[in-house]
């Protein structure tokens, strides 16, 4: 028998019920409080939803006035229209909020097919023996030289990490 995920009904079905943004936010905020989301997280939700609302208001093809009028294309335009190359963290946070608020709580399917971007992690830089020697010799005291050598030997002092 194939696995079927259990899906709860939406908190507020935006497909069948017209709700304005303040009413939608009141329902979302109550649910976030019930789920014990922290105040800072609720603030981020509010900021993202305000940003999406402002985008909808100034973009005629974005779907109109209320949250129930949001479209998949409007979400894509909002996420990708911010700048030439938005950061992965900016996209991840906004996509997560819109996915939770509009799809999970609102019963829409406007974020289907959108993949949450991941930040790329690069490998550390491997130093030559001469570079390691210069790094250790640059420490002012014997104690500091020992610490630098220990840190490097344990892999805890990569130049690539200092740029992150």
- Mean pLDDT, rounded, of the chain: 84
Structurally, the chain folds into a number of domains equal to 2
pTM score of the predicted model: 0.69
Q: What is the pLDDT of residue 80?
A: 84
Which ranges of 65-106 would DSSP assign to H, the alpha helix?
A: 72-80, 88-98
Give the C-alpha distances (Å, rounded to integers) separating 57 from 9, 51, 52, 68.
Answer: 28, 10, 9, 13
Q: What is the pLDDT of residue 163?
A: 46
Domain holding 28, by residue range, is 21-105
Domain-located, residue 32: yes
Q: Which long-range contacts (CB under 8 A, 24 or more apart) does 135-138 make?
A: none
Tell me the per-residue pLDDT of 42-73, one tens digit each, with 9 for 90 and over: 999 999 999 999 988 887 765 567 888 888 98
Task: Indicate if 88 and 153 belong to the same structural domain.
Answer: no
Domain-located, residue 73: yes
Domain-located, residue 52: yes
Quote the CA–CA distance of 164 and 159 in Å, as a whole number.
9
Task: Indicate if 34 and 77 belong to the same structural domain.
Answer: yes
Domain-located, residue 95: yes
Q: Count other C-beta atoms under 10 Å from residue 15's C-beta.
A: 10
Tell me the per-residue pLDDT of 81-103, one tens digit each, with 9 for 90 and over: 766 677 888 899 999 999 999 99
Q: What is the pLDDT of residue 116?
A: 85
Task: Indicate if 27 and 101 belong to the same structural domain.
Answer: yes
């Amino acid at each position: 028998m194939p696995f079927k995920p259990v899906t709860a009904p939406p908190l507020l079905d935006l497909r069948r019920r017209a709700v304005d943004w303040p009413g939608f936010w009141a329902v979302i905020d109550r649910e976030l409080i019930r789920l014990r989301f922290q105040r800072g997280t609720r603030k981020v939700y509010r900021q993202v939803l305000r940003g999406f609302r402002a985008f909808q208001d100034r973009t005629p093809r974005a779907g109109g006035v209320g949250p129930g009028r949001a479209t998949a294309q409007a979400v894509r335009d909002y996420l990708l229209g911010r700048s030439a190359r938005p950061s992965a963290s900016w996209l991840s946070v906004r996509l997560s909020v819109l996915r939770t608020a509009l799809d999970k709580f609102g019963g829409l399917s406007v974020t289907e097919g959108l993949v949450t971007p991941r930040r790329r992690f690069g490998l550390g830089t491997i130093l030559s023996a001469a570079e390691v020697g210069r790094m250790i010799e640059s420490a002012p005291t014997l104690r500091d030289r020992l610490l630098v050598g220990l840190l490097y030997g344990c892999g805890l002092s990569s130049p690539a990490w200092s740029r992150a």
